[in-house]
Amino acid sequence: MTSGRIIFLNGTSSSGKSSIARELLDILNDGVFFHLAVDSFNAMRSKRELGAEELDATLRRTRMGFHRSIAAMAEVGNDIVVDHVLSEPWRLLDCLTVLPTEDVLFVGVHCPLDELARRELARGDRPPGLAAHQYDLVHAHADYDVECDTSTASPRECAQRIKEFLPHRPSPAAFTRLRRRYLTDSQEPPPAKHSLFG
């Protein structure tokens, strides 16, 4: 069975990942793609109040399960669009460990901080300052297959760029290069501050 392709969108909260993912599902016509978003996994959790320590452990398990769900869907041949925030080093390491690296197109979704703050305020459904907290963390590894800036290109334009790039994925792909850097060489990704959210 052929493994599915994984288009992995990484960026801060409010950077436009979900909008790009929706556009990708609309324009990708050479397979059946599924949008798996970390926010959707978080939303499945029961709503009872959790203490800080329990919440941290729960979020870590949620994200580990999310990563393995991506891997399981792709393993049986499904094509996936992933919407994630790699704001803690262990998240990237876990993805590099469980995902088939050469099947991943790693996409950096960028947006200037002032525009992120404006979007966050307009949305009203995110903790104030969340995007600013994540801003220097999510792209700290500094290696992608393709990148886009949602302040200068629409979600549709970003999706079109990704679609056109997909058949021309580099080899080794960014995930393979990052796995060699962080796992083969036993190095850690750049440090990130501990966070209970984002």
Nearest CA to 83 among 5, 30, 4, 13?
13
Contact 107, 8 (CB under 8 A): yes
88 with 191: CB under 8 angstroms?
A: no
Q: Which distant-in-sequence residues (6+ apart) come within 8 Å of 120 by Cβ?
A: 13, 14, 126, 128, 129, 130, 131
Residue 9 has what DSSP assignment? E
Q: Cβ neighbours of residue 62 under 8 Å, at least 6 residues apart?
A: 41, 42, 45
Distances (CA, A) of 95 to 33, 88, 90, 178, 182: 19, 12, 9, 10, 12
The token pair at 74 is 């792709």
155 and 86 Cβ atoms separated by less than 8 Å = no
Q: Of 43, 33, 32, nearest to 66 (Cα)?
A: 43
Catalytic residue among 26, 30, 39, 143: 39
83 is catalytic: no
Q: Which residues are catalytic?
A: 39
